[in-house]
Amino acid sequence: MKRILITGASSGIGLAIAKLLVAQGHEVWGTSRNLERIPKLPRWHAVRLDLADRLSVEEAFNFALTEAGYFDVLINNAGAGHFGPAEFLPMETIVNQFQILVFGQIQLMQLALRHMQARGEGLIINVTSLASRLPVPFMAAYNAGKAALAAFTLSIQLELGDSRVHIVDLQPADISTEFNQDVSKSTQRDPRYDDKVASAWEVTERNMRDAPKPDLVARHVLKLISTVHPPLRITVGNAFQSKIAPLIFRFLPQRVRLWGLRRHYDI
């Protein structure tokens, strides 16, 4: 039995992960901005956390750690998205996206890392996104935030060396969740972008409907937490998105990558 802290546990990927971990006998501290959305299950402890608030991050971690005594695993999963042309993206929106997707998660990771280093072992799983490598059009702040967290994760992996604290960059491709329903959309209209925005959103919605369920990610997480030497990065999703597309894109010139993405999103 392991003691696990997971953010964003009230819906989507986080909810699926937390349910599976609890079902397997692990003790879970799951966070949400709204504790009423956390299921009331044995071995599941609800923790209020708002990643947009730095004080909330520290208070939530310390509260959960006091209850748990120690953590074997931290899963940085919570997130948010914004959809609209990057040209009109308000700086306030960019700052908010980076606070939730990057700064808040790095703060939580640092708190957990110091605790785990002192214990001499631990596992941190940062749920970034395949969008860090294959960006979704009109989600520039989200793509950039996920890429920033992935780069920060790689930097820590480099610095930790042979430490018994392991960090994994888990990159989901499209996973069928309610994420798109919670994505905020730009109210700015411009005839240069309107048709492209509509097409890209239609494809994004279709991809989400046809994507694997979040249980797929949960099963990969369950395997990771029982692995002595977990991989540094894994991509989870359907075979084309998670395996074939990243491999092809690795060897393509930037101009060809952009052409392929534009074709895919019909823009």
Three-state DSSP class for 87?
A: helix
Q: For residues 267 and 137, is the Cβ–Cβ distance under 8 A?
A: yes
- Residue 101 has a pLDDT of 97
Provide the H-helix boundaries in the chain: 12-23, 54-68, 91-98, 104-119, 140-160, 179-182, 194-210, 215-225, 239, 245-250, 254-265
Sign of CA dihedral 29, 34, 35, 36: negative
Which run of H or of E encompasses 30?
strand 27-32
Is pLDDT above 90 for 139?
yes
- Residue 40 has a pLDDT of 87
- Residue 189 has a pLDDT of 85
- Residue 241 has a pLDDT of 86
Portion of the chain with pLDDT greater than 90, in percent: 85
Is pLDDT above 90 for 249?
no
Give the pLDDT confidence of 35-80 residue by residue, as tens digits. Answer: 988 888 899 999 999 999 999 999 999 999 999 999 999 999 999 9
| Separation in Å, CA 202 to CA 81, 89, 199, 207 | 16, 20, 5, 9
Domains and CATH numbers, the chain: 3-265 (3.40.50.720)
> pTM of the predicted model, to two decimals?
0.94
- Residue 258 has a pLDDT of 92
Torsion of CA 66, 68, 74, 78, to 10 degrees: -70
Please state, in angstroms and rounded to a whole number, the distance separating the CA atoms of residues 267 and 259.
Answer: 10
Q: φ and ψ at 129, to 5 degrees? A: -170, 150
Annotated catalytic residue: which of 142, 193, 243, 265?
A: 142
* Closest of 108, 86, 89, 152 to residue 7, by C-alpha: 108
- Residue 187 has a pLDDT of 83
Q: How confident is residue 248, by pLDDT bands cut at 50, 70 and 90?
A: confident
Task: Identify residue 202 by its one-letter amino acid code.
Answer: E
* Closest of 139, 152, 63 to residue 107, by C-alpha: 152
Return the structure tokens found at 140.
């520039």
* Closest of 98, 66, 163, 96 to residue 124, by C-alpha: 163
- Residue 247 has a pLDDT of 85
Burial of 66 (0-12, 13-18, 19+ CB in 10 A): exposed
Return the structure tokens found at 56.
């909330």
Give the pLDDT confidence of 69-123 residue by residue, as tens digits. Answer: 999 999 999 999 999 999 999 999 999 999 999 999 999 999 999 999 999 999 9
Annotated catalytic residue: which of 19, 146, 193, 265?
A: 146
Q: What's the mean pLDDT when you consider all of the chain?
A: 94
169, β-bridge pairs:
126, 233
Task: Identify residue 8 by its one-letter amino acid code.
Answer: G
- 237 φ/ψ sector (left φ>0, alpha ψ -120 to 50, else beta): left
- Residue 182 has a pLDDT of 85
2 catalytic, yes or no?
no
Give the pLDDT confidence of 17-28 residue by residue, as tens digits. Answer: 999 999 999 999
142 catalytic, yes or no?
yes
